[in-house]
Structure 1
Amino acid sequence: MSKRIFIIYTGGTIGMVRSPQGYVAVSGLQKLIDEKIPPRLSMDMPDYDLFEYPDPIDSSNIRPPEWARIAKDISDRYDDYDGFVVLHGTDTMAYTASALSFLLRDLTKPVIVTGSQIPLSELRNDAQTNLVTAIELASSYNIPEVCLYFNGVLLRGNRSSKLLATGFEAFASPNYPHLADVGIYIELNQHALLPVPDKIHFELPDYNFAQVRVLSLYPGIEAEVIEAMTQTPCRALILRTYGVGNGPSLDKPFLKALEQAHRRGVVLTSLTQCTSGSVNLGSYAAGSELAKTGLLGGGDMTVEAAFAKLHHLCALGLSSDEIRRAISKPRAGEITTKKSI
């Protein structure tokens, strides 16, 4: 029996066209695919159904409620298809891929998120190859997780980040190996893949997009910034610290602001500002002082993964203490633990 793939087109560069204001997202992707992919090639592709959102958008306008919408659309059709492809803009693609990994836990089928740096409407583009390869990965390989495919590499969705604004090699996975490398052959890294679960464990709560905030430290940051960022309705703050988790440990008002936020129930999580590496708050005194305020280490999670994970934990209705206990425990392979090394 032939495989069937469900494709969701949310918008993004892959389906954009030129306008006087620059590239804009438009509907009508199926017509464009028919024009760009010759019949002799499309005959070799698996059967697919393309679901175009009636309001395709630039991914810079994506908000957490849209993550839940995509996950529900996949969940509602999960038994009807062999794999899923989500076409998405690159700017927030890693955020969406991360969020889907928590919403659609314990997958038994591939969910491949992809897009392009140049629209399919252009003569020279990366859209066609990314689209065709994502469909092939979703239909022909046993990949039981949410992935991000781009320019020859398959990455775990919640380990990916966009590192290049304009290059084709836009995405990387700084703290985790590729799940597959795509060249003449598609070579899966079986040891890096999540195991196939016994059954799915989808969690589809409603998302509130105002509860998690992100702040990068900078020299001379004032305590008032922390105070402003942690006011209601904030339930969690990701603090992007220096190196392995260091910060202004001699700034008493700054430390007091963190401690007060912790006491109000705000979950404080530290991630490194570096592209790769992990937080270890006990490595330096400058990190240990921050830890005394209630700041927790986020390990080697990406900002995108931690942001999506905290949204998810908040949406599940967990208490602050429950979220604090859960933040460093892997839910979908998003963080390295001693057991996973």
Structure 2
Amino acid sequence: MKQLLVVFTGGTIGSRKQGAGIDVNLSGSYALIDEYSNSPQQRDDVTLHAIQPLNLLSENMTTNDWHVLAEAIHSIDLTLYDGLVITHGSDTLAYSAAMLSYLFADSSIPIVLTASNYPLADERSNGLRNFANTVDFIADAQLPGVFVVYEDDKGAPLVYLGTRITQAVSFTDQFGSPYGVPFGMMADRAFSWLEHERNPKPEALRPAPAAPFVWEPKTLRLDSSIVYIRPYPGLNYSYYDFTSQRPKAVLHDLHHSGTACAIENGPYSLLQFITRCKGLGIDVYICPIRDRSDALYSSSLRLIEAGAIVIEKLSVEAAVTKLMLAYGLYDDPAQAKAFVSESSLYYEHNEV
């Protein structure tokens, strides 16, 4: 009999409609186990246990909540379980999946996040199916590491590596992945790996790697002093006044071609903004760039020449969480930069 621990954190999958709105409900999370236990998807070879270290809608997630969740998982004797299921809200699931992937890259058992598009009582909800597919993935694949299981709009239960899932988009509520390549999918209650040049083979995940860095709950710091900026026409950098309160780093998103405004001067100049940040001792990172060795646009090269630090081959979700971890682990910016740019923690670089 396989023993699985369900770690409830709230989110839509643990919520109920309350009046005109939707909010987390103390009994909503455990109702998921009841629904699963009374459904045709239930497995006879699995016993479910449960804890609930958090109970919040995921849009309210902070680094402090990540610390609470990490401490709860760290305190578990993983030898007692064949896998962990983490139920989570969909709004920030991709960020939490990346952070947990870094912290538990050496997990000897599968740690799998899942979510729901609507509360379980709503007939449109995919929450029960996502939960059932997560249980099936753990029981069938038995792969160590951190994953996400979530059904797409065609009803395909996709499996993602924890650092290779991108935020769900508006209007369709669909998660994505760099290059559009998930790790695999569930079919007939069994895991099917997606063969692709950028996907590690399942056997490459066994055995679990050594921990890429050492941390303890009492000393772990996840630094929220990271500012994330997305480019758009007319982005005026003069509104970012860091003279009174300075972030440790800025992560600047890029257009799909790896570019952002590189005019020489003026309030819309990212070049001038980078120079201003450098003068204040603030590191500026740019991401995503698929491959720095490829030919880049002249505007991209000018950003790099101005002092922007390139994070290549990572999604923005994987990059911003890695920055939070790096600047929490290291007081020395040079060490933090090396950790972000040179280390590989858990398949965050979209290559084999």
Do these two structures clear the TM 0.5 threshold for a shared fold by scoring above it?
Answer: yes
User: Which residue is 1:244 aligned to?
Assistant: 257
Which residue number corresponds to residue 218 of structure 1? 232
Pairing 1:163-312 to 2, within 5 Å after superposition:
163-165=168-170, 167=172, 170-175=174-179, 177-184=181-188, 185-189=190-194, 191-193=200-202, 195=205, 196-197=207-208, 199-200=210-211, 203-204=215-216, 205-225=219-239, 227-228=240-241, 232-253=245-266, 254=269, 255-272=271-288, 278=290, 280=292, 283-312=296-325
Counterpart AA for 1:71: A
* Residue equivalent to 2:61: 62
Closer, same or farther: CA 172–247 of 1 in aligned 2, 3 Å = closer
5+ unaligned residues in a row in structure 2: which ranges?
A: 152-156
Instruction: Label 1:118 to 1:177 Cα distance change in 2 as closer, same or farther (>3 A).
Output: same
1:86: Cα distance to partner? Answer: 0.5
Tell me the distance in 2 between the aligned counterparts of 1:198 and 1:327.
Answer: 19
Q: 1:132/1:229 Cα in 2 relative to 1: closer, same or farther (>3 Å)?
A: farther
Give the partner amino acid of 2:281. Answer: G
- Residue matched to 1:46: 46
TM-score, reference length from structure 2: 0.84
Matches within 5 A, 1:87-126: 87-126=87-126
The question of 1:323 aligning with 2:336 is answered yes
1:132 counterpart = 2:163 = no
Give, in angstroms, the shift of residue 259 of structure 1. 1.9
Q: Tell me, what secondary structure is at the counterpart of 2:55?
A: strand
Q: Is the CA contact (8 Å cut-off) linking 1:74 and 1:84 kept in structure 2?
A: no
Q: Quick one: distance in 1 between partners of 2:278 and 2:302?
A: 14
**1:283-339 C-alpha deviation (Å, 9 max, x unpaired):** 122111111221022213112111110000011124211222222232211123xxx
Distance 1:149 1:43, change over 3 A: closer
| Matched position secondary structure for 2:179 | coil
Q: Report if the CA contact (8 A) 2:231-2:260 is conserved.
A: yes
The answer (yes or no) to whether the contact 1:262–1:293 under 8 Å persists in 2 is no
SS at match of 2:253: strand
Instruction: Call closer, same or farther: CA 1:219–1:198 in 2, change over 3 Å.
Output: closer
Give SS of 2:18's match. coil
Which residue in 1 is equivalent to 2:348? 334
Equivalent position of 1:24 in the other structure: 23
Q: TM-score if structure 1 supplies the norm length?
A: 0.87
Distance 1:65 1:259, change over 3 A: same
Residues 173 and 39 (structure 1 numbering): CA distance in 2 closer, same or farther, change over 3 Å? Answer: closer
- Cα deviation, 1:25-58, whole Å, max 9, x if unaligned, reads 11122245324542775461511211124x5111
Cα distance between partner residues in 2 of 1:40 and 1:126: 15
SS of match in other structure, 2:163: helix
**Counterparts of 1:229 and 1:96, CA distance in 2:** 27
Distance 1:221 1:16, change over 3 A: same
Structure 1 partner of 2:8 = 9
Percent identity between the aligned chains? 20
Equivalent residue letter for 1:64: T
Deviation at 1:142, TM superposition (A): 2.8
Return the offset for 1:139: 3.2
Shift of 1:112: 0.3
C-alpha deviation, 1:161, in angstroms = 1.2
The one-letter code matched in structure 1 to 2:10 is G
Alignment partner of 1:23: what SS? strand
Query: Given the superposition, is the C-alpha separation of residues 197 and 17 from structure 1 closer, same or farther in structure 2, using an over 3 Å criterion?
Result: closer
